Structure 1
Amino acid sequence: MASGTPPGEDDGMDAFIEQFKKQKYKAGFNEDNWEEEFDKIPIFMKKAPEELDPLEHPELACIQTILYDEDQSPEELAKTYKNEGNHYFKEKNYKKAIISYTEGLKRKCSDSELNAILHTNRAAAQFYLGNNRSALNDVIAARKLKPNHLKAIIRGVLCHIELKNYSKAIAWCDEGLQVEPKEKQLIELRAKADKQKRVEERNLRKEKLKEKKERVQTEALLNAIKERKIKLFQPQELSSQNSDDEEDDRVLKALLFDGINSENGIVVHLDENGNLNWPVLFLYPEYEQMDFISAFHENTRFIDHLSVIFGENVPPWDAEKKYEPNNLELYFEDEQGGDLFQVDPMCTLQQVLSHARYVVKAGNPRIIILVRGSSFSRDFLSGKKLQVN
């Protein structure tokens, strides 16, 4: 028998090949999907998938198993995680970079140089996320392993500047310049830290001078109030406390500058002539209205303000024009007993505030104003104990 292929076998192979000639390979690349198909191949991937599904990316899962084989030495694994972290860092995926560097440090390899790099790189990722204190902790750890690690020093300086620790930033710069005297970035960072330190110190001096000036002004204001025997309302919990003069002043300040307009800076103040100017409230209970005089000079009479308020342009709520300056009665209420004291419109503000029974509440003197002889006035005053000033 002649040697060669057994009879009939070539016919089967020919039929098999002929079958492929008639069928179109549907899984092949074409001009519409070649980029998409290439991106599924690990070596050509532009970006790794966020979540690795072994069924969807079996090739990647296989590579990952090889790369992170626990049979490798801690040094090899730490280096692999470092490279992975560097890849994420270049993509600006700092959160994933931190995870990779952390995994590398968890291997606790004996290579102090590699551990220092992992700490330094993680510090850089933390810094770009704004986690300056965490970044600083990492560079401190890196320098414990490698004191003269220049990258760790530079990143530490950047952290100190962001945290406004300018003195420490300068000290770190000096330490780095001992290692590399001509390091341009350290020279520039030192100049920046020194400049910002001087600005901060200047601002601090200004703030202290401002606080001192305000303290002197406040003390002068409180002394003027005490000299005029003006009393400020104190809640029971404050009035029952025994305190020294300094504490008394603190309590008085809290009471004095707690008025309804104190947030807008409208509070009692001393003018250049040493006179008190108060924010005063005129209350009109008949119409549930009020007027606010932001700076009522203590030597000005009540009638002077009333003549302006109810002059030619009367308030819109006084449609009947009942509130004529010479036809008004003024009262203040005793905060303790609830008695009403009548006030002469010809009196000055200081005369009323110095009254033995007048108490300034929340930094705003208050005066009740009624129309003399009106039905509302009679109803309002009925049942109240009246005192004549």
Structure 2
Amino acid sequence: MTSREVQSDSDDGMDEFMDKFTTQRYKNAFTEKNWEEEFNKVPMFMKTAPEEIDPQKYPELACLQSIIHDEDRPPEEQAKSLKDEGNAFFKEKKYDKAVVSYTAALKKKCGDQELNAVLLTNRAASHFYLGNMRSALNDAAAAKKIKPDHLKALIRGAQCCIELRNFSEAIHWCDEGLKVYPTDGKLRELRASADKHKRAAERDARKSKAKEKKLCGEKEALLSAIKDRGIKLFQSTKPRRQGSDSDEEDQCSSAAVAQLSLDGLSSQEITGAQVSLDKQGSLHWPVLFLYPEHQQSDFISAFSENNYFRDHLTVMFGEELPPWDTDKKYQPQNLKLYFEDEEEETLYQVDPDTSLLKALQHKRFFVKAGTPSFIVLVHGSSFSKQFLSGKTIHRL
């Protein structure tokens, strides 16, 4: 057969194929309905990578994956392929998957230190966006150790320090970078931000220290005023927390003040009020009046130590009696006042014309939970007789 005859047969075959191509519909062609779905199966055109790669559904992508993870290739090639995979995940904001890829690349332990620095910096960026600031900082530091002038590592390290509120360290990172890149705008911006936050944090720390010092001074003055009056505080048997006192100068110097705040003056936990010392040197106590007959109570948030009980009873049971006193028995002149010595199971009767200070100074009165409490009964009532029956009663 001559060459002319071969050419003729070939042309005849092509003509036949073209005739079929123009007359028959291509079965695997994209349609208007499925073209986007089909395009998304082609690695070059994928908008997002699938969570799981099914070789039958994504044959081209599966082929690329097998190339990337081919263990027979040199470590440098494998690391570069994994880096590209991590970069693709990073662009899709799949930072957790990016971390996995960059970590796998670093495990190849290739000898390309430039590549290793890039991998660490990229993994630092992924950790940063995942909120893993400490891991991000560690990776940035490792990248900087390999390549001290790596700009992205320097920037990322400064950013991590700012997020971790370690502003002095952030400034140090920026200064290191500015020695190499003195005109870099990002480093300058980060340094200015870190310096601003550092000065604000120092200012807040000074304010907090001054406030704490003032508070400690007020506590010491309050404790001194209570001690000078001979008032006794009921001390809880609850064990003290270890480390509650500090030897630092900015803490309260008196261990007794710390004990006082933990035990004897803990009324805020119960009533929301606490004993206070006014500018004139008078104590004002939160005081509780208990009416056991009706299971009721009254609370006075600031009872001056110099005020008399009758003054408050007159206000509470003056023109308008409480709604629970249906028998109208709680007239100021009918009321008897007591405090209880729980340890000795004894009641002490208090004269309504006595000041609060005098009652608190009694040798058997202990202020419990920072709130002095008194029992109020109607003199001569059947409940009063029953309540007082069998109890030892002393007059103040």
Task: Say whether the fold is shared (TM-score over 0.5).
Answer: yes
Confirm whether residue 305 of structure 1 aligns to residue 312 of structure 2: yes
DSSP-derived class of the 2:267 partner: coil
Distance 1:182-1:21 versus aligned 2 partners, 3 A rule: closer
1:171-250 equivalences under 5 Å are 171-236=172-237, 246-250=254-258
Counterpart Cα distance in 2 of 1:38 and 1:207: 61
Counterpart Cα distance in 1 of 2:319 and 2:27: 95
Counterpart Cα distance in 1 of 2:383 and 2:205: 58
Map of 1:321 onto structure 2: 328
Q: Residues 143 and 150 of structure 2 are in contact (CA less than 8 Å); yes or no, is this contact kept in structure 1?
A: yes
Distance 1:17-1:132 versus aligned 2 partners, 3 A rule: closer
Map of 1:388 onto structure 2: 395
Q: Residues 116 and 146 of structure 1 are in contact (CA less than 8 Å); yes or no, is this contact kept in structure 2?
A: yes
Map of 1:125 onto structure 2: 126
What CA deviation, in whole Å up to 9, does each residue of 1:31-77 have, x standing for no partner? 22222222222332221111112233222212211222111111111
Map of 2:279 onto structure 1: 272
Equivalent residue in structure 1 for 2:266, among 255, 258, 261: 258
Distance 1:138-1:19 versus aligned 2 partners, 3 A rule: closer
Counterpart Cα distance in 2 of 1:297 and 1:41: 84
Distance 1:349-1:261 versus aligned 2 partners, 3 A rule: farther
1:318-357 equivalences under 5 Å are 318-357=325-364
Query: Post-superposition shift, 1:19?
Result: 10
Amino acid at match of 1:233: F
Q: Residues 335 and 359 of structure 1 are in contact (CA less than 8 Å); yes or no, is this contact kept in structure 2?
A: no
What CA deviation, in whole Å up to 9, does each residue of 1:112-136 have, x standing for no partner? 1111111111111111111111100
| Structure 1 stretches lacking a partner, 5+ long | 6-15
| Structure 2 stretches lacking a partner, 5+ long | 7-16, 246-252
Q: Residues 282 and 304 of structure 2 are in contact (CA less than 8 Å); yes or no, is this contact kept in structure 1?
A: yes
Amino acid at match of 2:328: K
Counterpart Cα distance in 1 of 2:174 and 2:18: 74
Counterpart Cα distance in 2 of 1:26 and 1:313: 97
Counterpart Cα distance in 1 of 2:129 and 2:207: 33
Confirm whether residue 45 of structure 1 aligns to residue 46 of structure 2: yes
Distance 1:66-1:378 versus aligned 2 partners, 3 A rule: same
Counterpart Cα distance in 1 of 2:355 and 2:276: 17
Counterpart Cα distance in 2 of 1:138 and 1:186: 18
Query: Post-superposition shift, 1:184?
Result: 0.8
Confirm whether residue 76 of structure 1 aligns to residue 44 of structure 2: no
Counterpart Cα distance in 2 of 1:114 and 1:87: 17
Amino acid at match of 2:340: E
Q: Residues 269 and 276 of structure 1 are in contact (CA less than 8 Å); yes or no, is this contact kept in structure 2?
A: yes
Confirm whether residue 281 of structure 1 aligns to residue 298 of structure 2: no
What CA deviation, in whole Å up to 9, does each residue of 1:296-337 have, x standing for no partner? 000001111111111223222112221111110110000311
Query: Post-superposition shift, 1:238?
Result: 6.7
RMSD: 2.5
Distance 1:283-1:179 versus aligned 2 partners, 3 A rule: same
Query: Post-superposition shift, 1:252?
Result: 2.1
Q: Residues 285 and 371 of structure 2 are in contact (CA less than 8 Å); yes or no, is this contact kept in structure 1?
A: yes
What CA deviation, in whole Å up to 9, does each residue of 1:134-183 have, x standing for no partner? 10000111111111111101110001111111111111111101001111
DSSP-derived class of the 1:279 partner: strand
Amino acid at match of 2:308: R
Counterpart Cα distance in 2 of 1:20 and 1:232: 103
DSSP-derived class of the 2:263 partner: helix
Query: Post-superposition shift, 1:200?
Result: 0.7
Distance 1:45-1:140 versus aligned 2 partners, 3 A rule: same
DSSP-derived class of the 1:256 partner: coil
Map of 1:366 onto structure 2: 373
Q: Residues 236 and 263 of structure 2 are in contact (CA less than 8 Å); yes or no, is this contact kept in structure 1?
A: no
TM-score of the superposition, structure 2-length normalised? 0.88
Q: Residues 267 and 363 of structure 1 are in contact (CA less than 8 Å); yes or no, is this contact kept in structure 2?
A: yes
Map of 2:158 onto structure 1: 157
Q: Residues 86 and 97 of structure 1 are in contact (CA less than 8 Å); yes or no, is this contact kept in structure 2?
A: yes
DSSP-derived class of the 2:254 partner: helix
Q: Residues 238 and 251 of structure 1 are in contact (CA less than 8 Å); yes or no, is this contact kept in structure 2?
A: no
Query: Post-superposition shift, 1:215?
Result: 0.7
Distance 1:21-1:249 versus aligned 2 partners, 3 A rule: closer
Q: Residues 261 and 267 of structure 1 are in contact (CA less than 8 Å); yes or no, is this contact kept in structure 2?
A: no
Amino acid at match of 1:230: I
Counterpart Cα distance in 2 of 1:198 and 1:20: 77
Amino acid at match of 1:316: P
TM-score of the superposition, structure 1-length normalised? 0.90
Query: Post-superposition shift, 1:18?
Result: 11
Q: Which stretch of the first structure deviates more once superposed, 183-192 or 27-36?
A: 27-36
Identity value in percent:
58
Amino acid at match of 1:88: F
Amino acid at match of 2:261: K
Distance 1:230-1:238 versus aligned 2 partners, 3 A rule: farther
Q: Which stretch of the first structure deviates more once superposed, 37-46 or 336-345?
A: 37-46
Distance 1:333-1:233 versus aligned 2 partners, 3 A rule: same
Amino acid at match of 2:50: P
Query: Post-superposition shift, 1:105?
Result: 0.6
Query: Post-superposition shift, 1:94?
Result: 1.0
DSSP-derived class of the 1:292 partner: strand
